[in-house]
Amino acid sequence: EMATKGGYPHFMLKEIYEQPESLASTVAGLEWAQLSAVADMLLSARNIYVLGAGSSYHAGLTFAARLPRLRLTPVPIIASEYYTYERLFDRDDVAIAISQSGETIDTIRAARAMRERGVKVVAVTNVVGSTLARESDVVIYTRAGPEIGVAATKTFTTQVATLSALYLAVLKAVGVDTSELERELKALPEAVRKTIENTAGTAKDLAKRMKEKRSAYYLGRGLSLPVAMEGALKLKEVAYIHAEAYPAGESKHGPIALVEEGFPVVFVFSDPDTREKTLSNVAEMKARGAYAIGVVPAKSDLAKKLDFPVEVPESGELAAPVTYVVPLQLLAYFAAVERGYDPDKPRNLAKTVTVE
């Protein structure tokens, strides 16, 4: 079994370390003509739905959060909640349906309901010939390779990278010069390699400090929020520590009530546009005794504002939702191991959920 794990103690760690390769294959495999056709579909759509479950939904949120900059209005839909939106579905609409396995029944049922009403469904999946791939109008493949660990890691980052490429294609279609962003996308595998190298030790130290904690908040604003949501999900899934992601500004409307001396709060600073505002939440939380952890850009003065900074090498704005999630994956992994759990086989979870 050690052989299939390539010398790593767990698949989850192996798959975290495989991310530079998975991203390189995914970026190299992008079909730009296809992305540009989907970009045109999005630009002429009446409604744009962004659909997925779990980590795939979070990947979708990183895309949805960018569209308003182009005056496009996305409707993010958690797959199991699609019926709330069913009456909106119409032939002038486009859905981006995200599922690494392509077999999650909630996502398949939602996509079917959409297609029945004429919505064009664009699938983003890691599995060629999967049910979702077969039943969609267009299929964009991620090339993460097979993921054995139950918690999504490399499939998540390749989804985010693919959706970033799609966003880039939309920018291009409206006449924006994207040459700088294209360079950023090509440099993403190397940026992730550097991030793993620079943050693994720090994440392990942090896991030791988190070991006895029963609960944590993950806070972020704007594009940092889906990254925080994914980080919190990882911690719950494999380390069994209650973790709640919240929009940082909203945390004072309730969640702050739980904060007392030593309560861990993880702040995500991947979105450069919301850094100042998030800092005011750091101050608020610290005033209540919170232990303020922050995933922050390296070489900035943000580290000084936190009790425990994790510094991420600069990779650019397009790449940030990918690079900033990496130390959060590592934290969840090491916290699971510290607490004596097998991160590859979390209790109660299945890799692919085929019941509604």
**Residue 349 within binding range of ligand AGP, rule CB under 6 A:** yes
Q: Smallest gap, in angstroms, from Cβ of residue 18 to ligand AGP?
A: 16
Q: Which is nearer to ligand AGP, 55 or 281 (CB)?
A: 55
Kindly report the number of other CB atoms within 10 A of residue 56's CB atom. Answer: 24
> How far, in Å, CA of 100 to CA of 156, rounded?
8
**Residue 153 within binding range of ligand AGP, rule CB under 6 A:** no
> How far, in Å, CA of 210 to CA of 327, rounded?
14
Q: Which is nearer to ligand AGP, 53 or 173 (CB)?
A: 53
Binding piece for ligand AGP, criterion CB under 6 A, among 97-105, 179-187, 192-200, 330-338: 97-105
Q: Which is nearer to ligand AGP, 238 or 302 (CB)?
A: 238
**Residue 55 within binding range of ligand AGP, rule CB under 6 A:** yes
Binding piece for ligand AGP, criterion CB under 6 A, among 34-42, 99-107, 115-123, 248-256: 99-107
Among residues 100, 162, 164, 199, the one that binds ligand AGP under rule CB under 6 A? 100
Length of the chain: 356
Q: Which is nearer to ligand AGP, 174 or 349 (CB)?
A: 349
Burial label, 84 (beta-carbon count in 10 A; 0-12, 13-18, 19+): exposed
DSSP helix/strand/coil, 17: helix
**Residue 128 within binding range of ligand AGP, rule CB under 6 A:** no
Q: Smallest gap, in angstroms, from Cβ of residue 261 to ligand AGP?
A: 32
Among residues 24, 150, 161, 325, the one that binds ligand AGP under rule CB under 6 A? 150
**Residue 224 within binding range of ligand AGP, rule CB under 6 A:** no
Tokens 């090339």 belong to 143
Q: Which is nearer to ligand AGP, 56 or 199 (CB)?
A: 56
- Structural contact between residues 186 and 164, judged by C-beta atoms closer than 8 angstroms: no
Assigned token pair, 271: 């979105």
Q: At what angle do helices 32-44 and 154-173 cross, to 10 degrees?
A: 70
> How far, in Å, CA of 122 to CA of 93, rounded?
11
Q: At what angle do helices 325-338 and 154-173 cross, to 10 degrees?
A: 170
Q: Smallest gap, in angstroms, from Cβ of residue 151 to ligand AGP?
A: 5
**Residue 251 within binding range of ligand AGP, rule CB under 6 A:** no
Q: Smallest gap, in angstroms, from Cβ of residue 29 to ligand AGP?
A: 18
Q: How many residues bind ligand AGP (CB under 6 A)?
A: 16
**Residue 107 within binding range of ligand AGP, rule CB under 6 A:** yes
> How far, in Å, CA of 259 to CA of 279, rounded?
17
**Residue 104 within binding range of ligand AGP, rule CB under 6 A:** yes
State the Rg of the chain over Cα.
Answer: 19
Q: Which is nearer to ligand AGP, 101 or 158 (CB)?
A: 101
Catalytic site residue 172? no
Among residues 151, 166, 203, 238, the one that binds ligand AGP under rule CB under 6 A? 151
**Residue 53 within binding range of ligand AGP, rule CB under 6 A:** yes
- Structural contact between residues 320 and 188, judged by C-beta atoms closer than 8 angstroms: no
**Residue 78 within binding range of ligand AGP, rule CB under 6 A:** no
Among residues 22, 26, 62, 101, the one that binds ligand AGP under rule CB under 6 A? 101
Q: Which is nearer to ligand AGP, 36 or 352 (CB)?
A: 352
At residue 206's C-alpha, the angle toward residues 12 and 190, to 5°, is 55
Among residues 19, 22, 26, 56, the one that binds ligand AGP under rule CB under 6 A? 56
Assigned token pair, 200: 């693994």
DSSP helix/strand/coil, 87: helix
Residues 6+ apart with CB under 8 A from 193: 20
**Residue 67 within binding range of ligand AGP, rule CB under 6 A:** no
Task: Count CA within 13 A, CB hemisphere, residue 71.
Answer: 2
> How far, in Å, CA of 20 to CA of 9, rounded?
19
Residue 218's DSSP bridge partners are 245, 266
Residue positions annotated with a catalytic role: 351
Footprint on this chain of ligand AGP (rule: CB under 6 A): 53-56, 99-101, 104, 107, 150-152, 237, 349, 352-353
